Amino acid sequence: MNGLNNILTGNRYPGRGVLWCRTGDGDTLGAYFLTGRSPASQARTLHRTADGTLIVAPSEPGEHDHLRHYVAARQSGRWLVYGNGEQVAAVAGRLDSGEVPALALDGLDYEPDPPIFTPRLTVVADSGPGGRAWFGAARHSGGERTATNRLTLEVGGLEPGEGVLMTTYRSDSDGIRTGDPFAEVRVAAGDRDGLLEELWTALPPELRIAAAVFSPGALAKADIRQAAARS
């Protein structure tokens, strides 16, 4: 099991990412981060609404872009839902209608942004005892097939220091490609403050936009860190 810091520092452009883990003190936490390369991607902020929902929005007033601006995390009854696009609100709505997590994550598609076709990553976490979470990934085929590959992964029984990470991209000397389906990671942080610090410092400084750490059932108390405004 590789360390969270090692995996992220070894990825020149992770894009957006979702993490579910237990810190050293035994706390079970979710995390979401976003990085960006273009000025339009970097001109975004992660903020909390009055009901505790986390929104990715333009840092300056402007036209809504459904691929860059979306609900990033929402508490839906017993379920905490977070991810990298407008599918978060759709999944939360399905859960509100009584669907179980695996079905609520079904039928999603990757983003229509050729040539990379960004995966849509979503986590549904149970706010009850047990610390279970379901990861959903809607991915483009590695070949020419256009049909969506859909992965659903149920995670439970994490020990302190263990976690699961998904990122949209994997970037190295060969360029940018779709990220690995998922990675089991070792988290060094002893508590939630340490987790936000560990996550933030592992992201490429010139690409960082925002990151948040939150507890299931307590999204309104999420800890958020933002990059300084770029001139």
Q: Write out the chain's pLDDT in tens, 231 residues.
A: 799 999 999 999 999 999 999 999 999 999 999 999 999 889 999 999 999 999 999 988 777 778 889 999 999 999 999 999 999 999 999 999 999 999 999 999 999 999 999 999 999 999 988 889 999 999 999 888 999 999 999 999 999 999 999 999 999 877 899 999 999 999 999 999 999 999 999 999 999 999 999 999 999 999 999 998 665
Residue 175 in tokens:
């360029």
Give the sign of the dihedral formed by CA 194, CA 224, CA 213, CA 176.
negative
Residue 168 lies in a domain: no
141 within a domain of the structure (yes/no): yes
- Tell me the C-alpha distance between 142 and 156, whole Å: 29
Domain assignment present for residue 180? The answer is no
Only one residue has tokens 């099991």, namely 1
Within a domain: 136: yes
Which domain covers residue 119, as residue numbers? 28-156+193-226
- Number of compact structural domains in the chain: 1
Please indicate, yes or no, if residue 173 is contained in any of the structural domains.
no
Q: How many CA atoms lie within 13 A of 111 on its CB side?
A: 23
Domain membership of residue 107 (yes or no) is yes
Quick check: is 146 in a domain? yes
Here the CATH number for the domain that contains residue 33 is 3.60.20.20
Q: What's the chain's length in residues?
A: 231
For residue 32, tell me if it sits in a domain: yes
